Amino acid sequence: MRETRGGSARIGLRAAAHPDGWRLMPAPAPFTFNSILTNRKDFKMANIEQDRWSRVQGRLRAAVGEDVYSSWFARMDLEAVDDHCVRLSVPTRFLKSWIQTHYADRVLSCWQSECAGINHVELTVRSAMRGAPAARDVKMPVPGEHSPQRIELRAGFETAVADRAPVTAGHDALGGSPLDARLTFGSFMVGRSNTLAHAAARQVADGRRGDTVMFNPLYIHAGVGLGKTHLLQAIAWAGNGAPGDRKVLYLTAEKFMYGFVAALKTQTALAFKEALRGIDVLVIDDLQFLQGKNTQAEFCHTLNALIDAGRQVVIAADRPPSDLESLDDRVRSRLAGGLVVEMGSLGEELRVEILKSRIAAARSHHAGFDVPPAVIEFLARAITHNGRDLEGAVNRLLAHSKLSGHQVTLEMAEHEVRDLVRPQEPRRVKIEDIQRVVARQYNVSRSDLLSSRRTANVVRPRQVAMYLAKTLTLRSLPEIGRRFGGRDHTTVLHAVRKIETLVSNDSALAGEIEVLKRQLQD
Protein backbone atom coordinates (compact mmCIF):
# COMPACT_ATOMS: atom_id res chain seq x y z
CA MET A 1 0.00 0.00 0.00
CA ARG A 2 2.43 2.64 -1.26
CA GLU A 3 -0.01 5.06 -2.73
CA THR A 4 -0.74 7.41 0.17
CA ARG A 5 -0.93 10.87 -1.41
CA GLY A 6 -4.11 13.00 -1.50
CA GLY A 7 -7.32 11.19 -0.66
CA SER A 8 -6.02 7.68 -1.45
CA ALA A 9 -4.53 7.03 1.99
CA ARG A 10 -7.94 7.26 3.60
CA ILE A 11 -9.48 4.97 1.03
CA GLY A 12 -6.61 2.50 1.33
CA LEU A 13 -7.07 2.29 5.07
CA ARG A 14 -10.76 1.55 4.63
CA ALA A 15 -9.94 -1.26 2.27
CA ALA A 16 -7.32 -2.69 4.65
CA ALA A 17 -9.95 -2.81 7.41
CA HIS A 18 -12.16 -5.10 5.36
CA PRO A 19 -12.74 -8.38 7.24
CA ASP A 20 -11.74 -10.42 4.18
CA GLY A 21 -8.46 -8.56 3.70
CA TRP A 22 -7.19 -7.40 0.27
CA ARG A 23 -8.83 -9.00 -2.73
CA LEU A 24 -8.11 -8.66 -6.44
CA MET A 25 -11.28 -7.92 -8.32
CA PRO A 26 -12.27 -5.77 -11.33
CA ALA A 27 -13.30 -2.22 -10.59
CA PRO A 28 -17.07 -1.74 -10.80
CA ALA A 29 -18.58 0.32 -13.59
CA PRO A 30 -19.40 3.08 -13.04
CA PHE A 31 -16.69 3.92 -10.52
CA THR A 32 -18.10 4.09 -6.95
CA PHE A 33 -16.38 5.56 -3.90
CA ASN A 34 -18.24 3.24 -1.53
CA SER A 35 -16.67 0.16 -3.16
CA ILE A 36 -13.48 -1.44 -1.84
CA LEU A 37 -10.60 -0.16 -3.95
CA THR A 38 -8.25 -2.92 -4.94
CA ASN A 39 -5.55 -1.65 -7.25
CA ARG A 40 -3.40 1.29 -8.21
CA LYS A 41 -5.75 2.35 -10.99
CA ASP A 42 -8.58 2.73 -8.48
CA PHE A 43 -6.42 4.93 -6.28
CA LYS A 44 -5.52 7.22 -9.18
CA MET A 45 -9.17 7.52 -10.18
CA ALA A 46 -10.07 8.30 -6.59
CA ASN A 47 -7.45 11.02 -6.44
CA ILE A 48 -8.59 12.57 -9.68
CA GLU A 49 -12.29 12.58 -8.86
CA GLN A 50 -11.80 13.62 -5.24
CA ASP A 51 -9.65 16.57 -6.30
CA ARG A 52 -12.22 17.51 -8.92
CA TRP A 53 -15.02 17.29 -6.30
CA SER A 54 -13.01 19.54 -3.98
CA ARG A 55 -12.69 22.14 -6.72
CA VAL A 56 -16.42 21.91 -7.47
CA GLN A 57 -17.15 22.48 -3.77
CA GLY A 58 -14.92 25.57 -3.85
CA ARG A 59 -16.74 26.93 -6.89
CA LEU A 60 -20.10 26.26 -5.27
CA ARG A 61 -19.06 27.95 -2.03
CA ALA A 62 -17.88 31.02 -3.93
CA ALA A 63 -21.08 31.14 -5.99
CA VAL A 64 -23.65 30.91 -3.20
CA GLY A 65 -21.75 32.29 -0.21
CA GLU A 66 -20.51 30.66 2.96
CA ASP A 67 -23.80 30.83 4.89
CA VAL A 68 -25.90 29.25 2.15
CA TYR A 69 -23.23 26.64 1.47
CA SER A 70 -23.07 25.66 5.16
CA SER A 71 -26.84 25.36 5.40
CA TRP A 72 -27.54 23.35 2.23
CA PHE A 73 -24.34 21.81 0.85
CA ALA A 74 -22.01 21.05 3.77
CA ARG A 75 -23.32 17.48 4.08
CA MET A 76 -23.42 16.73 0.35
CA ASP A 77 -21.11 13.84 -0.57
CA LEU A 78 -19.78 12.52 -3.87
CA GLU A 79 -21.00 8.96 -4.44
CA ALA A 80 -20.06 8.09 -8.03
CA VAL A 81 -18.89 9.51 -11.35
CA ASP A 82 -19.87 8.06 -14.72
CA ASP A 83 -18.96 9.23 -18.21
CA HIS A 84 -21.62 11.90 -18.32
CA CYS A 85 -23.30 11.72 -14.90
CA VAL A 86 -22.36 12.62 -11.33
CA ARG A 87 -24.15 11.03 -8.39
CA LEU A 88 -24.26 13.06 -5.16
CA SER A 89 -25.97 12.27 -1.88
CA VAL A 90 -27.50 14.26 0.97
CA PRO A 91 -28.79 13.05 4.36
CA THR A 92 -32.47 14.06 4.07
CA ARG A 93 -35.29 14.10 1.56
CA PHE A 94 -35.96 17.74 2.32
CA LEU A 95 -32.41 18.76 1.40
CA LYS A 96 -32.67 16.76 -1.82
CA SER A 97 -35.94 18.45 -2.77
CA TRP A 98 -34.68 21.93 -1.91
CA ILE A 99 -31.39 21.60 -3.81
CA GLN A 100 -33.10 20.10 -6.86
CA THR A 101 -35.64 22.92 -6.92
CA HIS A 102 -33.32 25.87 -6.28
CA TYR A 103 -29.72 24.90 -7.03
CA ALA A 104 -29.70 22.06 -9.59
CA ASP A 105 -28.48 24.28 -12.43
CA ARG A 106 -25.84 25.88 -10.21
CA VAL A 107 -24.41 22.52 -9.13
CA LEU A 108 -24.37 21.24 -12.73
CA SER A 109 -22.67 24.43 -13.91
CA CYS A 110 -19.92 24.07 -11.30
CA TRP A 111 -19.29 20.47 -12.40
CA GLN A 112 -19.22 21.41 -16.09
CA SER A 113 -16.61 24.05 -15.31
CA GLU A 114 -14.35 21.23 -14.11
CA CYS A 115 -15.47 18.52 -16.54
CA ALA A 116 -17.19 19.58 -19.77
CA GLY A 117 -18.46 16.06 -20.44
CA ILE A 118 -20.82 16.06 -17.44
CA ASN A 119 -24.39 16.73 -18.53
CA HIS A 120 -26.41 15.38 -15.60
CA VAL A 121 -26.27 15.49 -11.79
CA GLU A 122 -28.24 12.85 -9.88
CA LEU A 123 -29.10 13.52 -6.23
CA THR A 124 -29.97 10.72 -3.80
CA VAL A 125 -30.72 10.42 -0.08
CA ARG A 126 -28.08 8.58 1.92
CA SER A 127 -30.44 7.38 4.65
CA ALA A 128 -32.60 5.62 2.07
CA MET A 129 -29.58 4.02 0.35
CA ARG A 130 -27.81 2.89 3.48
CA GLY A 131 -30.82 1.82 5.48
CA ALA A 132 -30.56 4.32 8.31
CA PRO A 133 -33.38 3.73 10.81
CA ALA A 134 -36.12 6.32 10.91
CA ALA A 135 -37.05 8.05 14.13
CA ARG A 136 -40.47 6.45 14.17
CA ASP A 137 -38.84 3.03 14.56
CA VAL A 138 -37.28 4.07 17.87
CA LYS A 139 -39.25 2.75 20.84
CA MET A 140 -40.72 5.63 22.80
CA PRO A 141 -40.03 5.41 26.53
CA VAL A 142 -42.83 5.61 29.06
CA PRO A 143 -42.95 8.33 31.75
CA GLY A 144 -40.19 7.88 34.26
CA GLU A 145 -38.12 5.54 32.09
CA HIS A 146 -35.81 8.26 30.81
CA SER A 147 -35.34 11.94 31.47
CA PRO A 148 -38.07 14.20 30.02
CA GLN A 149 -35.55 16.10 27.91
CA ARG A 150 -34.31 12.96 26.17
CA ILE A 151 -37.86 11.77 25.62
CA GLU A 152 -38.76 15.00 23.89
CA LEU A 153 -35.75 14.74 21.62
CA ARG A 154 -36.97 11.31 20.58
CA ALA A 155 -40.42 12.72 19.96
CA GLY A 156 -39.11 14.90 17.15
CA PHE A 157 -38.75 14.14 13.50
CA GLU A 158 -37.10 11.68 11.12
CA THR A 159 -34.13 13.87 10.34
CA ALA A 160 -33.65 14.96 13.95
CA VAL A 161 -32.63 11.49 15.16
CA ALA A 162 -31.69 9.39 12.18
CA ASP A 163 -30.11 11.81 9.72
CA ARG A 164 -28.98 14.83 11.74
CA ALA A 165 -29.34 17.20 8.84
CA PRO A 166 -27.53 20.56 8.93
CA VAL A 167 -30.57 22.46 10.23
CA THR A 168 -29.46 22.69 13.81
CA ALA A 169 -31.59 25.62 14.81
CA GLY A 170 -34.76 24.08 13.45
CA HIS A 171 -34.17 20.70 15.04
CA ASP A 172 -33.15 22.15 18.38
CA ALA A 173 -36.44 24.00 18.51
CA LEU A 174 -38.38 20.96 17.32
CA GLY A 175 -36.93 18.88 20.12
CA GLY A 176 -39.92 20.11 22.09
CA SER A 177 -40.33 21.63 25.51
CA PRO A 178 -39.62 19.39 28.54
CA LEU A 179 -42.42 17.19 29.83
CA ASP A 180 -43.17 16.62 33.51
CA ALA A 181 -43.55 12.86 34.10
CA ARG A 182 -46.22 13.55 36.75
CA LEU A 183 -48.60 15.29 34.35
CA THR A 184 -50.47 12.35 32.82
CA PHE A 185 -54.14 11.49 32.43
CA GLY A 186 -53.82 9.11 35.36
CA SER A 187 -52.96 11.92 37.76
CA PHE A 188 -55.52 14.42 36.41
CA MET A 189 -58.50 14.94 38.73
CA VAL A 190 -61.79 15.30 36.85
CA GLY A 191 -64.62 17.47 38.15
CA ARG A 192 -67.59 19.41 36.83
CA SER A 193 -65.40 22.37 35.86
CA ASN A 194 -63.09 20.38 33.58
CA THR A 195 -65.11 17.37 32.39
CA LEU A 196 -65.50 18.60 28.81
CA ALA A 197 -61.87 19.67 28.49
CA HIS A 198 -60.70 16.30 29.83
CA ALA A 199 -62.97 14.36 27.45
CA ALA A 200 -61.80 16.39 24.44
CA ALA A 201 -58.14 15.94 25.37
CA ARG A 202 -58.66 12.21 25.86
CA GLN A 203 -60.32 12.01 22.43
CA VAL A 204 -57.26 13.60 20.83
CA ALA A 205 -54.81 11.41 22.74
CA ASP A 206 -56.60 8.20 21.76
CA GLY A 207 -56.56 9.04 18.04
CA ARG A 208 -54.39 7.23 15.51
CA ARG A 209 -52.75 8.30 12.31
CA GLY A 210 -55.32 8.36 9.52
CA ASP A 211 -58.31 8.85 11.84
CA THR A 212 -60.74 11.63 11.00
CA VAL A 213 -60.06 14.67 13.17
CA MET A 214 -63.26 15.45 15.08
CA PHE A 215 -62.49 19.04 16.09
CA ASN A 216 -59.55 21.13 14.97
CA PRO A 217 -58.04 23.03 16.57
CA LEU A 218 -58.86 22.09 20.15
CA TYR A 219 -58.49 25.30 22.15
CA ILE A 220 -58.48 25.08 25.97
CA HIS A 221 -58.44 28.24 28.06
CA ALA A 222 -58.38 28.72 31.81
CA GLY A 223 -56.85 30.84 34.52
CA VAL A 224 -53.53 30.09 36.19
CA GLY A 225 -53.24 26.73 37.96
CA LEU A 226 -56.51 25.18 36.75
CA GLY A 227 -54.93 22.29 34.84
CA LYS A 228 -54.65 23.26 31.18
CA THR A 229 -50.89 22.54 31.02
CA HIS A 230 -51.54 19.22 32.79
CA LEU A 231 -54.00 18.21 30.04
CA LEU A 232 -51.68 19.29 27.22
CA GLN A 233 -48.72 17.38 28.60
CA ALA A 234 -50.97 14.36 29.21
CA ILE A 235 -51.81 14.41 25.48
CA ALA A 236 -48.11 14.46 24.64
CA TRP A 237 -47.33 11.58 27.03
CA ALA A 238 -50.22 9.48 25.72
CA GLY A 239 -49.30 10.13 22.09
CA ASN A 240 -45.60 9.39 22.52
CA GLY A 241 -46.26 6.21 24.48
CA ALA A 242 -48.89 4.82 22.09
CA PRO A 243 -48.09 1.88 19.81
CA GLY A 244 -49.01 3.91 16.72
CA ASP A 245 -46.56 5.95 14.71
CA ARG A 246 -48.03 9.43 15.26
CA LYS A 247 -45.53 12.23 15.80
CA VAL A 248 -46.63 14.38 18.76
CA LEU A 249 -44.81 17.60 19.63
CA TYR A 250 -45.36 19.70 22.76
CA LEU A 251 -44.08 23.28 22.56
CA THR A 252 -44.57 26.37 24.64
CA ALA A 253 -45.21 29.55 22.68
CA GLU A 254 -41.84 30.81 23.89
CA LYS A 255 -40.07 27.74 22.47
CA PHE A 256 -41.89 28.16 19.16
CA MET A 257 -40.74 31.79 18.98
CA TYR A 258 -37.17 30.84 19.88
CA GLY A 259 -37.07 28.11 17.24
CA PHE A 260 -38.42 30.34 14.48
CA VAL A 261 -36.11 33.27 15.28
CA ALA A 262 -33.08 30.96 15.53
CA ALA A 263 -33.97 29.38 12.19
CA LEU A 264 -34.17 32.83 10.59
CA LYS A 265 -30.74 33.76 11.95
CA THR A 266 -29.14 30.58 10.63
CA GLN A 267 -31.03 30.72 7.31
CA THR A 268 -32.76 27.42 8.00
CA ALA A 269 -36.31 28.75 8.29
CA LEU A 270 -37.55 26.61 5.41
CA ALA A 271 -36.27 23.45 7.05
CA PHE A 272 -37.87 24.55 10.32
CA LYS A 273 -41.23 25.03 8.61
CA GLU A 274 -41.01 21.77 6.69
CA ALA A 275 -40.23 19.75 9.81
CA LEU A 276 -42.90 21.49 11.89
CA ARG A 277 -45.58 20.76 9.32
CA GLY A 278 -44.60 17.12 9.10
CA ILE A 279 -45.96 16.16 12.51
CA ASP A 280 -49.32 14.62 13.35
CA VAL A 281 -50.25 16.38 16.61
CA LEU A 282 -48.94 19.85 17.45
CA VAL A 283 -49.51 20.94 21.06
CA ILE A 284 -48.86 24.63 21.86
CA ASP A 285 -49.05 25.92 25.44
CA ASP A 286 -49.40 29.51 26.71
CA LEU A 287 -50.33 30.97 23.33
CA GLN A 288 -50.95 34.36 24.96
CA PHE A 289 -47.16 34.85 25.03
CA LEU A 290 -46.78 34.56 21.25
CA GLN A 291 -45.38 37.90 20.12
CA GLY A 292 -43.92 39.41 16.97
CA LYS A 293 -45.60 40.04 13.62
CA ASN A 294 -43.40 37.61 11.66
CA THR A 295 -43.69 34.87 14.29
CA GLN A 296 -47.47 35.21 14.42
CA ALA A 297 -47.65 35.09 10.62
CA GLU A 298 -45.59 31.89 10.56
CA PHE A 299 -47.74 30.40 13.30
CA CYS A 300 -50.84 31.22 11.24
CA HIS A 301 -49.36 29.57 8.14
CA THR A 302 -48.35 26.50 10.16
CA LEU A 303 -51.79 26.31 11.77
CA ASN A 304 -53.52 26.49 8.39
CA ALA A 305 -51.17 23.94 6.82
CA LEU A 306 -51.66 21.39 9.61
CA ILE A 307 -55.44 21.80 9.77
CA ASP A 308 -55.83 21.66 5.98
CA ALA A 309 -53.73 18.46 5.95
CA GLY A 310 -55.98 16.86 8.57
CA ARG A 311 -53.37 17.02 11.35
CA GLN A 312 -54.45 17.71 14.94
CA VAL A 313 -53.63 21.01 16.67
CA VAL A 314 -54.15 21.53 20.42
CA ILE A 315 -53.67 24.96 21.99
CA ALA A 316 -53.96 26.35 25.51
CA ALA A 317 -54.07 29.95 26.72
CA ASP A 318 -55.29 31.92 29.71
CA ARG A 319 -58.18 33.53 27.81
CA PRO A 320 -60.50 32.78 24.87
CA PRO A 321 -59.33 33.53 21.30
CA SER A 322 -61.43 36.68 21.07
CA ASP A 323 -59.55 38.18 24.04
CA LEU A 324 -56.05 37.62 22.61
CA GLU A 325 -55.64 41.22 21.51
CA SER A 326 -52.03 40.85 20.40
CA LEU A 327 -52.84 38.12 17.88
CA ASP A 328 -53.69 38.78 14.26
CA ASP A 329 -57.39 38.64 13.36
CA ARG A 330 -56.77 35.69 11.02
CA VAL A 331 -55.25 33.64 13.84
CA ARG A 332 -58.10 34.46 16.23
CA SER A 333 -60.66 33.55 13.59
CA ARG A 334 -59.01 30.19 12.86
CA LEU A 335 -58.74 29.36 16.57
CA ALA A 336 -62.37 30.26 17.20
CA GLY A 337 -63.39 27.95 14.35
CA GLY A 338 -62.41 24.84 16.31
CA LEU A 339 -63.62 23.56 19.66
CA VAL A 340 -63.11 26.22 22.33
CA VAL A 341 -63.38 24.83 25.87
CA GLU A 342 -63.12 26.76 29.11
CA MET A 343 -61.89 25.12 32.30
CA GLY A 344 -63.70 26.79 35.17
CA SER A 345 -62.61 27.36 38.74
CA LEU A 346 -62.17 24.31 40.93
CA GLY A 347 -65.23 23.35 42.95
CA GLU A 348 -64.85 22.43 46.62
CA GLU A 349 -65.40 18.72 45.96
CA LEU A 350 -62.68 18.73 43.31
CA ARG A 351 -60.33 20.63 45.62
CA VAL A 352 -60.83 17.93 48.26
CA GLU A 353 -59.97 15.23 45.73
CA ILE A 354 -56.87 17.11 44.60
CA LEU A 355 -55.69 17.47 48.21
CA LYS A 356 -56.23 13.78 48.90
CA SER A 357 -54.30 12.85 45.77
CA ARG A 358 -51.35 15.09 46.67
CA ILE A 359 -51.29 13.83 50.26
CA ALA A 360 -51.30 10.21 49.07
CA ALA A 361 -48.41 10.95 46.71
CA ALA A 362 -46.44 12.56 49.55
CA ARG A 363 -47.21 9.64 51.87
CA SER A 364 -45.70 7.19 49.38
CA HIS A 365 -42.32 8.80 50.04
CA HIS A 366 -42.88 9.81 53.68
CA ALA A 367 -44.76 7.01 55.44
CA GLY A 368 -45.43 8.94 58.66
CA PHE A 369 -47.09 11.90 56.94
CA ASP A 370 -50.80 12.16 57.75
CA VAL A 371 -53.34 14.96 57.37
CA PRO A 372 -56.59 14.74 59.41
CA PRO A 373 -59.91 15.08 57.50
CA ALA A 374 -60.68 18.32 59.32
CA VAL A 375 -57.50 19.88 57.95
CA ILE A 376 -58.31 18.73 54.43
CA GLU A 377 -61.77 20.28 54.69
CA PHE A 378 -60.29 23.54 55.97
CA LEU A 379 -57.77 23.72 53.13
CA ALA A 380 -60.44 22.97 50.51
CA ARG A 381 -62.67 25.75 51.85
CA ALA A 382 -59.94 28.32 52.42
CA ILE A 383 -57.74 27.88 49.33
CA THR A 384 -59.93 28.49 46.31
CA HIS A 385 -57.63 30.22 43.86
CA ASN A 386 -56.01 27.34 41.96
CA GLY A 387 -54.56 23.84 42.17
CA ARG A 388 -50.98 25.00 42.56
CA ASP A 389 -51.84 26.70 45.82
CA LEU A 390 -53.35 23.44 47.05
CA GLU A 391 -50.17 21.57 46.18
CA GLY A 392 -48.11 24.29 47.86
CA ALA A 393 -50.19 23.92 51.03
CA VAL A 394 -49.53 20.15 51.15
CA ASN A 395 -45.80 20.75 50.65
CA ARG A 396 -45.75 23.23 53.54
CA LEU A 397 -47.53 20.85 55.88
CA LEU A 398 -45.15 18.06 54.89
CA ALA A 399 -42.06 20.22 55.44
CA HIS A 400 -43.26 21.48 58.82
CA SER A 401 -44.19 17.99 59.97
CA LYS A 402 -40.89 16.41 58.93
CA LEU A 403 -38.65 19.20 60.18
CA SER A 404 -40.40 19.79 63.50
CA GLY A 405 -41.42 16.20 64.17
CA HIS A 406 -44.97 17.29 65.04
CA GLN A 407 -48.19 15.88 63.65
CA VAL A 408 -50.32 18.04 61.36
CA THR A 409 -53.07 19.84 63.26
CA LEU A 410 -55.73 22.35 62.29
CA GLU A 411 -53.96 25.11 64.23
CA MET A 412 -50.68 24.40 62.50
CA ALA A 413 -52.36 24.33 59.08
CA GLU A 414 -54.07 27.69 59.68
CA HIS A 415 -50.70 29.22 60.52
CA GLU A 416 -48.72 27.67 57.66
CA VAL A 417 -51.09 28.52 54.81
CA ARG A 418 -52.36 31.90 55.97
CA ASP A 419 -50.78 33.72 52.99
CA LEU A 420 -52.43 31.31 50.54
CA VAL A 421 -55.90 32.23 51.77
CA ARG A 422 -56.76 35.01 49.36
CA PRO A 423 -59.89 37.13 49.24
CA GLN A 424 -62.39 36.04 46.63
CA GLU A 425 -61.56 37.78 43.37
CA PRO A 426 -64.36 39.63 41.62
CA ARG A 427 -65.79 37.96 38.55
CA ARG A 428 -63.88 38.84 35.41
CA VAL A 429 -66.17 40.86 33.19
CA LYS A 430 -66.10 40.29 29.43
CA ILE A 431 -67.03 42.77 26.74
CA GLU A 432 -69.50 40.26 25.31
CA ASP A 433 -71.26 40.11 28.70
CA ILE A 434 -71.45 43.90 28.83
CA GLN A 435 -72.99 44.06 25.36
CA ARG A 436 -75.52 41.36 26.22
CA VAL A 437 -76.61 42.93 29.54
CA VAL A 438 -76.81 46.47 28.13
CA ALA A 439 -78.79 45.29 25.10
CA ARG A 440 -81.29 43.55 27.39
CA GLN A 441 -81.55 46.57 29.69
CA TYR A 442 -82.31 49.02 26.86
CA ASN A 443 -84.37 46.61 24.72
CA VAL A 444 -82.04 46.63 21.70
CA SER A 445 -80.12 43.80 20.06
CA ARG A 446 -76.40 43.18 20.36
CA SER A 447 -76.10 43.58 16.61
CA ASP A 448 -77.60 47.08 16.99
CA LEU A 449 -74.76 48.00 19.35
CA LEU A 450 -72.21 46.82 16.80
CA SER A 451 -73.93 48.39 13.79
CA SER A 452 -73.45 51.84 12.26
CA ARG A 453 -76.97 52.97 13.25
CA ARG A 454 -77.01 56.39 14.88
CA THR A 455 -80.60 56.64 16.12
CA ALA A 456 -81.06 57.89 19.67
CA ASN A 457 -82.37 54.58 21.00
CA VAL A 458 -79.10 52.89 19.90
CA VAL A 459 -76.45 55.60 20.40
CA ARG A 460 -77.01 55.99 24.15
CA PRO A 461 -76.90 52.22 24.97
CA ARG A 462 -73.80 51.89 22.78
CA GLN A 463 -72.07 54.70 24.67
CA VAL A 464 -73.04 53.14 28.00
CA ALA A 465 -71.66 49.79 26.91
CA MET A 466 -68.38 51.39 25.80
CA TYR A 467 -68.15 53.24 29.13
CA LEU A 468 -68.67 50.03 31.09
CA ALA A 469 -66.11 48.21 28.91
CA LYS A 470 -63.54 50.89 29.77
CA THR A 471 -64.29 50.94 33.50
CA LEU A 472 -64.88 47.23 34.17
CA THR A 473 -62.24 45.63 31.92
CA LEU A 474 -58.55 46.12 31.22
CA ARG A 475 -59.11 46.42 27.48
CA SER A 476 -57.51 49.32 25.62
CA LEU A 477 -59.52 51.92 23.72
CA PRO A 478 -58.52 50.50 20.29
CA GLU A 479 -59.50 46.99 21.40
CA ILE A 480 -62.87 48.19 22.70
CA GLY A 481 -63.47 50.02 19.42
CA ARG A 482 -62.63 46.89 17.46
CA ARG A 483 -65.11 44.86 19.52
CA PHE A 484 -67.85 47.44 18.83
CA GLY A 485 -67.98 47.04 15.08
CA GLY A 486 -64.45 48.19 14.26
CA ARG A 487 -64.80 51.74 15.55
CA ASP A 488 -61.87 54.12 16.03
CA HIS A 489 -60.46 54.62 19.54
CA THR A 490 -61.44 58.29 19.45
CA THR A 491 -65.09 57.22 19.17
CA VAL A 492 -64.71 55.14 22.33
CA LEU A 493 -62.99 57.99 24.15
CA HIS A 494 -65.82 60.35 23.20
CA ALA A 495 -68.42 57.87 24.50
CA VAL A 496 -66.59 57.40 27.81
CA ARG A 497 -66.28 61.15 28.42
CA LYS A 498 -69.90 61.71 27.39
CA ILE A 499 -71.24 59.14 29.90
CA GLU A 500 -68.92 60.42 32.67
CA THR A 501 -70.36 63.91 32.19
CA LEU A 502 -73.95 62.69 32.12
CA VAL A 503 -73.52 60.49 35.22
CA SER A 504 -72.36 63.45 37.29
CA ASN A 505 -75.51 65.41 36.37
CA ASP A 506 -78.17 62.71 35.81
CA SER A 507 -78.96 60.62 38.91
CA ALA A 508 -81.33 58.35 36.96
CA LEU A 509 -78.60 57.39 34.49
CA ALA A 510 -76.14 56.93 37.35
CA GLY A 511 -78.58 54.53 39.00
CA GLU A 512 -79.02 52.58 35.76
CA ILE A 513 -75.27 52.15 35.38
CA GLU A 514 -74.90 50.97 38.99
CA VAL A 515 -77.58 48.35 38.36
CA LEU A 516 -75.74 47.22 35.23
CA LYS A 517 -72.45 46.97 37.16
CA ARG A 518 -74.04 44.80 39.85
CA GLN A 519 -75.54 42.49 37.24
CA LEU A 520 -72.16 42.10 35.55
CA GLN A 521 -70.15 41.54 38.74
CA ASP A 522 -72.52 39.18 40.55
Q: What is the dihedral of CA 61, 64, 66, 69, to 10 degrees?
A: -70
* CATH 3.30.300.180 domain residues, the chain: 8-130
Q: pTM of the entire structure? A: 0.53
pLDDT of residue 151: 30
3-state helix/strand/coil string of 425-492: CCCCCCHHHHHHHHHHHCCCCHHHHHCCCCCHHHHHHHHHHHHHHHHHCCCCHHHHHHHCCCCCHHHH
pLDDT of residue 492: 92
Separation in Å, CA 275 to CA 93, 216, 251, 269, 284: 11, 20, 14, 10, 16
Low-confidence ranges of the chain (pLDDT < 50): 1-41, 43, 128-173
CATH number of 8-130: 3.30.300.180
* CATH 1.10.1750.10 domain residues, the chain: 431-521
pLDDT of residue 75: 81
Fold of 431-521: Chromosomal Replication Initiator Protein Dnaa; Chain: A; (1.10.1750)
Mean residue pLDDT of the chain comes to: 76
- For strands 31-32 and 218-221, give the pairing: unpaired
Whether domain 348-420 has CATH 3.40.50.12780: no
pLDDT of residue 230: 92
Sheet strands side by side (includes 77-81): 31-32, 77-81, 85-90, 120-125
CB of 272 within 8 A of CB of 263? yes
Separation in Å, CA 222 to CA 25, 227, 344: 72, 8, 7
Q: Specify the amino acid at residue 213.
A: V
User: How confident is the model over 474-496, as pLDDT tens digits?
Assistant: 888 888 998 898 899 999 999 99
Separation in Å, CA 300 to CA 19, 293, 334: 55, 11, 8
pLDDT of residue 493: 92
| Residue 219 per-residue DSSP state | E
CATH number of 136-342: 3.40.50.300
pLDDT of residue 118: 85
* CATH 1.10.8.60 domain residues, the chain: 348-420
User: How confident is the model over 292-336, as pLDDT tens digits?
Assistant: 778 888 888 888 888 888 888 999 998 888 777 777 778 888 888
